[in-house]
Structure 1
Amino acid sequence: MGTKTPNGAGTPSGAGRRNKEADKRARIAAAKAAAARAQRRSQLTRLGIGGGVAAVIIALIAVGVVGLSGGKSASTAAPVIPATPANTATGRDSTPPWAVPADTSAAVQAAGLPMLGAEGTVLHIHAHLDVAVNGQPVTVPAEVGIDDAAQQISPLHTHDTTGVIHIESPTQAQFSLGQFFTEWQVSLSSDHIGALTVDASHQLRAYVNGKAVDGDPAAIVLHAHDEIAVVYGTAAQQQKVPSSYAFAPGL
């Protein structure tokens, strides 16, 4: 009989196989680690380049902005309020009542005033306007100078139908009755209001704090707590003219 090969002789031992497998796993792990390190180096390199490019782009943008602005910081332009208010009033030549105009922004622009995003606070005063025609009061409408749809407001405006005119400006300035009537879109001068003209039996007079004012009523400058009355009618209808107005507390 032939000689038997001892158990396990001629083939790798179990321990040997385990050592080879462990070596193989170690080589694979080392290769993966090296690949990971190479990938990280590549990522760092790309980031370094990207950061440099971003820095260059930001610098170029900054230079461009400075160049366009003349080296000054960009700022929002302040609204322009005319130093001298308009002393005329343009608008409808019709009979009362006179509603608030359909295009508020256009009416305010015609008065030479800007539309603001909020009420001004540098100048904040109030005056009161009464208008009477043939012995009957004419309502001064709410929201003259206010554009609800655009969320904008003139420095010269009304909030309600009391006749209180709000002057809330972002700068110190003077405002006139003519500017307000133009915002209201009612034509006014020394010889007419709307379609109502002076004739042999009808007068048009303006009063400030009960005292008659000569000339064009549109030229009247508004002051704090002025009571202004514009009266069209007969001589007898000019007699009862208010000299003051009871402003609400805080106005």
Structure 2
Amino acid sequence: MQKRRILTGAAVMSGAALLLAACGSGSGKSAGSGHAADGTDSKATASSVLWPAPADASAQVKAAGLPMLGQEGQVLHIHSHLDVFVDGKAVTVPAEVGIDEARQQISPLHTHDTSGVVHIESPVKKDFTLGEFMTEWNVPITKDALGPLKTGGGKELRVYADGKQWSGNPADLKLAAHEEIAVVYGAANEQVKVPASYNWPEGL
């Protein structure tokens, strides 16, 4: 049953609502300063930056220091939301990060669709970090870089959790239930409407 869910999550992107309902739990969260569940009403213009899900999901999960599982864990089952902005424009968080469909395996950190919802579903209770997820995505994050993009020359990298700027190493930011994380790279004077919350669909 769980393996079927892995395959479904990877293959049926048009059924995102059904997948979220199958994978989620808990009550919805609303906030006027957030954006809608489909991520379309207040996001910045789409960026030309395209960072697809890695072809070898298992290799990237290993690089993040995480295990691949035969089924989604249920001891820890929470969700965070991630927005990424480059030069004022939104970058799509791809579907199937952390999912190896060919091997029918899945990371405790993964995405099913392009909503930006990061599923944290682990067989053990532990902390997971933004750095682990970004490594899985093959867009590693440090204080000085977002994937291939470096700071300096007028460019800055800022990370926000629920609208508040994170002052530490962004890779160390712990993923929390219903947390809104925004990663912003660009000129220091660039105006980006940083979301402080996410309007969670019922069941997530």
* TM-score category, normalised to shorter length: 0.7 to 0.9
Corresponding residue for residue 219 of structure 1: 172
Aligned-pair CA distance for 1:96: 3.1
Query: Within 5 A, what are the aligned runs for 1:124-163?
Result: 124-163=77-116
Aligned length: 157
Corresponding residue for residue 128 of structure 2: 175
Aligned-pair CA distance for 1:129: 0.3
Aligned-pair CA distance for 1:166: 0.1
Asked if the contact 1:210–1:227 (Cα under 8 Å) also holds between the matched residues in 2, the reply is: yes
Asked if the contact 2:78–2:119 (Cα under 8 Å) also holds between the matched residues in 1, the reply is: yes
Corresponding residue for residue 242 of structure 1: 195
- Structure 1 runs of 4+ off > 2 angstroms? 235-239
Residue 203 in structure 1 maps to residue 161 in structure 2: no
Code of the residue aligned with 1:240 in structure 2: it is: K
Give the SS at the match of 1:137: strand
Q: Deviations over 1:208-249 (max 9, x none)?
A: 000001122111000000000000112233541100001111
Corresponding residue for residue 120 of structure 1: 73
Q: Which runs of 5+ in 2 are unaligned?
A: 1-47
Q: Deviations over 1:45-99 (max 9, x none)?
A: xxxxxxxxxxxxxxxxxxxxxxxxxxxxxxxxxxxxxxxxxxxxxxxxxx93111
Query: Within 5 A, what are the aligned runs for 1:1-251?
Result: 96-251=49-204
Looking at secondary structure, tell me which structure has more helix per residue. Answer: 1
* Percentage of pairs with the same residue: 61
Give the SS at the match of 1:236: coil
Asked if the contact 1:187–1:194 (Cα under 8 Å) also holds between the matched residues in 2, the reply is: yes
Q: Deviations over 1:93-115 (max 9, x none)?
A: xx931111111111111111111
- Counterparts of 1:164 and 1:152 in 2: how far apart (Å)? 19
Give the SS at the match of 1:106: helix
Code of the residue aligned with 2:106 in structure 1: it is: I
- Counterparts of 1:171 and 1:194 in 2: how far apart (Å)? 29
- Counterparts of 1:111 and 1:187 in 2: how far apart (Å)? 9
* TM-score where L is the length of structure 2: 0.74
Give the SS at the match of 2:102: coil
Asked if the contact 1:231–1:238 (Cα under 8 Å) also holds between the matched residues in 2, the reply is: no
Larger Rg: 1
Aligned-pair CA distance for 1:199: 1.7
- Counterparts of 1:220 and 1:132 in 2: how far apart (Å)? 17
Q: Which runs of 5+ in 1 are unaligned?
A: 1-94
Q: Which has the higher contact order (CA 8 A, sep 6+)?
A: 2
Corresponding residue for residue 27 of structure 1: none
Asked if the contact 1:174–1:222 (Cα under 8 Å) also holds between the matched residues in 2, the reply is: yes
Aligned-pair CA distance for 1:143: 0.5
